[in-house]
Structure 1
Amino acid sequence: MARKTLSITLDKGRDKGKRFLITEMSAAQIDSWSLRLLNGVYGSGKGAELSQIGSAAAMAQILFGVAGKPKDGKGEAEKEQASKAVETMFMDMLIKADPYVSSQLQAELMTQVKIMPSAADPTITRALDDDDIEELSSISKLRTEAIKINIDFFTDAAE
């Protein structure tokens, strides 16, 4: 099975109309990335805060709220809610991680993002250059989408 991809067209600011392709990390890569994130949080001394921000509740929601839901669409709202909880947890962990580790992990996430420079040929992609993205909000959106595509395994595994 091929890795998941997501095409995004930005719709605001100086990056309006720019298109990007985000590709899911390999299982080994996301496993390593996640473990380094956890180590970065606990190494920063902020590991205890994870339970305070609700990470345990987010995991419980995934494991117990989504598991066993019928595939007829009735469980989609619960799955979306669980996905959002996990996304929030990962973003909080990136913020709370040791700054050096967090910086490395965020840079690694952005290597999953390619720009689609040709409107005429969407199959053409290339690695990002510093000048490709002009708005901070665009970086944040792309980073969030990169996290989402890579953490779907949490909610997928619960089905």
Structure 2
Amino acid sequence: MALRETTYTIPDGEDAGKVFVITRMPAMQADKWARHLVKALTRAGMALPPDAMEIGLSGLGGMAQAMFGQLEDEAADKALDALMATVKIQRDPANPGSRGQIIDADLEDPETLPRLQAEAFRMHLGFFKAAAYLISPLVQMLVPQAASDKPQPAV
């Protein structure tokens, strides 16, 4: 089965019209990325709001900047680098075969990189949510009410 992909076209600014393809990580890799992110957030003292796990994927996606801002530089770089490895530029929008690694010269607008990071994060939010539930001691710290109100999965 092919990995899920999404195409993202920069809507405005200096990079308007540039096309990027984001491919979801394989499940085991995405799970590992998500578990490491949940642990790094906990070490950084990040506490998600008690209703965070109920607000859904779009709500969690909106929290991405705040979450990454709480991380130590090394942990944030590692998590964002893993996400950006899933993003390719399609140099010729009409030719899917023209995909390649993003290089510095591909990005002119300062808004493009954060947009791509946010889109890649949204693509992997389900794994983040699953990791938070699976790491039950961390869930109790991250989401105290949700952890006490919901039955925990057997480990």
TM above 0.5: yes
* Structure 1 CA distance for aligned equivalents of residues 108 and 11 of structure 2: 13
Task: Give 1:64-75 correspondences, 5 Å limit.
Answer: none
* Structure 1 CA distance for aligned equivalents of residues 54 and 19 of structure 2: 35
Alignment length, in residue pairs? 129
Equivalent residue number for residue 24 of structure 2: 24
RMSD (Å) for aligned C-alpha atoms: 1.9
* Alignment partner of 2:52 out of 43, 48, 58: 58
Task: Give 1:96-107 correspondences, 5 Å limit.
Answer: 96-107=70-81
Letter of the 1:6 partner, please give it.
T
**Is 1:141 the counterpart of 2:135 in the alignment?**
no
Shift of 1:149: 1.1
The alignment-based identity, stated in percent, is 26
Equivalent residue number for residue 13 of structure 1: 13
**Is 1:93 the counterpart of 2:67 in the alignment?**
yes
What stretches of structure 2 of length at least 5 have no aligned partner?
131-155
Checking the alignment, whether the CA contact within 8 Å between 2:57 and 2:126 is kept in structure 1 is yes
TM-score between both structures, scaled by the size of structure 1: 0.73
Shift of 1:140: 1.1
What stretches of structure 1 of length at least 5 have no aligned partner?
62-81
Per the alignment, in what secondary structure is the counterpart of residue 8 of structure 2?
strand
* Structure 2 CA distance for aligned equivalents of residues 4 and 59 of structure 1: 23
* Structure 1 CA distance for aligned equivalents of residues 54 and 17 of structure 2: 38
* Structure 2 CA distance for aligned equivalents of residues 59 and 99 of structure 1: 25
* Structure 2 CA distance for aligned equivalents of residues 89 and 30 of structure 1: 19
Checking the alignment, whether the CA contact within 8 Å between 2:64 and 2:118 is kept in structure 1 is no
- Runs (4+) off by over 3 Å: 152-155
Letter of the 2:107 partner, please give it.
I
